[in-house]
Amino acid sequence: MNVASFFDSMDYAPSNEDDSAARAWLASYHNRFGHFIAGRFTDPGDGFDTVEPATGKVLARISEGTQGDVDSAVTAARKAQKAWAALPGHERALKLYALARIIQRNARLIAVVEALDNGKPIRETRDIDIPLAARHFYHHAGWAQLQDSQFPDHAPLGVIGQIIPWNFPFLMLSWKIAPALALGNAVVLKPAEATPLSALLFAELAQAAGLPDGVLNIVTGAGDTGALIAGHDGVDKVAFTGSTEVGRKIRQMTAGSGKSLTLELGGKSPFVVFEDADLDAAVEGVVDAIWFNQGQVCCAGSRILVQEGVARDFHTRLAARIQGLRIGTSLDKTIDMGAVIDADQRARIAGMVDRAVAEGAELVQADMEMPDGGTFYPPTVLCNVPATCEAATEEIFGPVAVSMTFRTPDEALQLANHSRYGLAASIWSEDINQALEIAAGVEAGIVWVNCTNVMDAGVGFGGVKESGFGREGGREGCYDYLRPRAFDKAPVRKVITPAKPKGFAPQTVDRTAKLFIGGKQARPDGNHSAPVIGADGQILGEVGVGNRKDIRNAVEAARAAASWGGKSQHNRAQILYYLGENLSARADEFAARLRDMTGVKADKARAEVAASVARLFTYGAWADKYEGVVHMPPMRGLALAVPEAIGVVGVICPPEAPLLGFVSTVAPLIATGNRVVAVPSEAHPLSVTDFYQVAETSDLPAGVLNIVTGDGLALGKELAKHNDVNALWAFGTAELGETVERLSAGNLKRTFTDNGRAWDWTAPTAEGETFLRQATQVKNIWVPYGA
């Protein structure tokens, strides 16, 4: 080709970024890397190669992290963390700021190393990943500066184990490291085995920027090394981004350990196109949604839902657009897409596409030349994909979108939410009423209105349902790297076993409390009841012994009461006040019951009732005041951070404080719009069964509060296993905490346990925002504007 032939053809020519600096950097390590522990690189050990996906050529030899390596890294982190946390916030802010600056000063080198190692286009690393990473460090330098004033009741967690994926190696590193370090933690991070280089480069830069030794440790390796980190006793928190399958294992592995956990997992995010959308913009949105980073994006808009009336038009435009895409090697600056990560991934993608086509999906694929040698897969849309097909429900993690149609906004929402995942959603409509209604109703942690895959350090990122829990970025993300100081001194819980009756004392009046399900008192399924023994050894009455079917029924009733979440906050506040008022009217009776069950003195019993009334008022007060914030990301628009109810939440109430413990856990959940299945204190359940009448006279809608009495551990297991329970709070023995955390892995429900250590329920710290945060999940709705 020469000028004249280009003049005639007006073709593009490959335009390659210079990689000599990146090659020289690799050569300076002789293309062999050890781990970065306690401020220095270890000697390279046994390991594996990392290759260029675009060419299949080996870039470097990487060490496989062993138990010894992980031990050293955790020890180094532990040693460094105290002094790091003890630094004034301003000092830590300066270090974070220095990290941001050194990323910017080396932006081109990082961008090239990243593109080589991952296969993604240099445009994306240069224009998106690396600038966002620098922004993350700047933003979190600010949180370090403000930590004392903004989080006075919280302390750093300690040593954080972080495991990140290969799709955004450097960006995910910054999302993990910046908040952890800013808030006074030390880090042991494992980059993905396929893409370790930018993390190793960052280690070198962090050292140059003056980060103290041991505060940041990088251990390379595959899944086994990750397991060593996640399972390490010296780690206080595990933050993981990756597949739902591995997330589940980490949940099980860390159960009962007391480790804080953040999981950012898979997705099958809906991309909803209404008939009043700017259709060309929506088509371009698909390019950004599923052909960004070869579709290897957890929040990729991989499920296109188009309103039926415009579906033909939209698909025609999309089919034309796909032909204009260009694919090439990662350093070429004229491309839209690079190679997928490796041959296995390509084979997996191809297999899912082939099977979908065999099941009747219509294949729309770019007819393009692909470079030799790399693992390329063309941009693909599967139209009219059968809803039953695996490609329609499972994450493909490649450049493949599936497309379906809907008729009405209701149906759009139904289809959008009909997924086990709940990471993101993208909504295309020029009608603000329509767009915001869907934004409010879609089950996702991130909602993009007329945009997709936009991110910012100041706006929390994270999912709901099987897409995980926890947020990264913004104020909401900070709490995932902090712990409430109030809980630090919580003692190990005293075991309270139900007393045995002294002799046999038949009752003249049947005082068997039933269960409370769907607003009605219901007999237990098993038709068993158990005596409740008072402090004096006398039988106070009987309660039903709930079983798994009672749990099933209670969850169904709670699921059916979905309208509670949609009730106005004012309305929920009124009902909580009303509950408090009605409890107060029967204060003497409830105090007497507490005395009879637990043997406390009269004044203490009265105090517990009074505290319970006050707590109901507290959450009535919070009900219309627990608000979101408006983030101001660097764009013309807003990001609305809305705390939303989680859904159906199980509560194993603490054995102590039979009334106050119940109110303290159930009230924040109800106040924020959740529906609850509560299991009262096994030894002292009658305060809660007495509460039925309070609930019945306080206008609490049926199904919002359901009570199943019985064995806390057995019922906790049933709730933990139940796949239609969205969260589970369990306060009891260490065994209970471990059990529910382990069993929650099925649908990755969020858990809140005290692992056998007891809150002081009478303390002011046993109410308020710590509990409200646990009762809600933040949804960030991005709304760019402009006429």
Binding site for another protein (CB under 8 A): 1-7, 10-13, 15, 123, 126-127, 276-282, 284-285, 288, 324, 326, 333-336, 430, 450-451, 635-637, 784-787
| Residue 264 designated active-site | yes
Distances (CA, A) of 779 to 247, 459, 528, 639, 731: 21, 10, 43, 10, 27
Distances (CA, A) of 145 to 73, 90, 142, 303: 27, 5, 5, 41
CB of residue 782 to another protein, shortest distance in Å:
10
Q: Is 214 left (phi over 0), alpha (psi -120 to 50) or beta?
A: left
Query: How would you class 388 by CB atoms within 10 Å of its CB: exposed for 0-12, middle for 13-18, buried for 19 or more?
Result: exposed
Residue number with CB closer to another protein (295 or 712): 295
| Residue 204 designated active-site | no
Residue number with CB closer to another protein (15 or 67): 15
Set 114, 298, 395, 718: catalytic member: 298
H or E element: which one contains 384?
Answer: none
Residue number with CB closer to another protein (127 or 536): 127
Distances (CA, A) of 90 to 84, 146, 148, 503: 12, 8, 10, 67
Give the whole-angstrom CA distance, residue 650 versus residue 729: 6
CB of residue 331 to another protein, shortest distance in Å:
11
CB of residue 16 to another protein, shortest distance in Å:
9
CB of residue 719 to another protein, shortest distance in Å:
44
Residue number with CB closer to another protein (10 or 358): 10
Distances (CA, A) of 542 to 476, 511, 533, 550, 691: 44, 6, 9, 17, 15
Give the whole-angstrom CA distance, residue 585 versus residue 593: 15
DSSP, collapsed to helix, strand or coil, labels residue 63 as strand
The number of helices, as runs of H, and strands, as runs of E, in the chain is 28, 33
Give the whole-angstrom CA distance, residue 400 versus residue 294: 9
For the chain, the residue count is 787
Residue number with CB closer to another protein (64 or 278): 278
CB of residue 132 to another protein, shortest distance in Å:
14
CB of residue 282 to another protein, shortest distance in Å:
8
Set 114, 193, 264, 472: catalytic member: 264
DSSP, collapsed to helix, strand or coil, labels residue 77 as helix
Give the whole-angstrom CA distance, residue 117 versus residue 202: 14
CB of residue 278 to another protein, shortest distance in Å:
4
SS3 content of the chain, % helix, strand, coil (to 5): 45, 20, 35
Of 302, 455, 492, 464, nearest in space to 392 by CA: 302
Residue number with CB closer to another protein (336 or 644): 336
> What angle, 0 to 180 degrees and rounded to 10, lies between the N-to-C axes of helices 409-417 and 432-441?
30
CB of residue 299 to another protein, shortest distance in Å:
16
Of 681, 672, 615, 617, nearest in space to 649 by CA: 672
CB of residue 628 to another protein, shortest distance in Å:
22
Distances (CA, A) of 567 to 516, 556, 563, 646: 22, 19, 6, 15
Contact present, 765 and 486 (Cβ < 8 Å): yes
Residue number with CB closer to another protein (5 or 388): 5
CB of residue 432 to another protein, shortest distance in Å:
12
H or E element: which one contains 388?
Answer: none
Of 131, 124, 106, 166, nearest in space to 330 by CA: 124
CB of residue 267 to another protein, shortest distance in Å:
21
The amino acid that residue 161 corresponds to is G
CB of residue 18 to another protein, shortest distance in Å:
12
DSSP 543: E
Residue number with CB closer to another protein (6 or 505): 6
Distances (CA, A) of 92 to 147, 617, 753: 10, 40, 31
Of 550, 586, 538, nearest in space to 690 by CA: 586
Hey, what are 242's tokens?
């990756």
Residue number with CB closer to another protein (310 or 522): 310
Give the whole-angstrom CA distance, residue 362 versus residue 232: 48
Hey, what are 81's tokens?
């963390």
Give the whole-angstrom CA distance, residue 531 versus residue 612: 25
Give the whole-angstrom CA distance, residue 773 versus residue 725: 18
The amino acid that residue 510 corresponds to is D
Residue number with CB closer to another protein (127 or 344): 127
Give the whole-angstrom CA distance, residue 208 versus residue 98: 9
- Tell me the catalytic residues: 264, 298
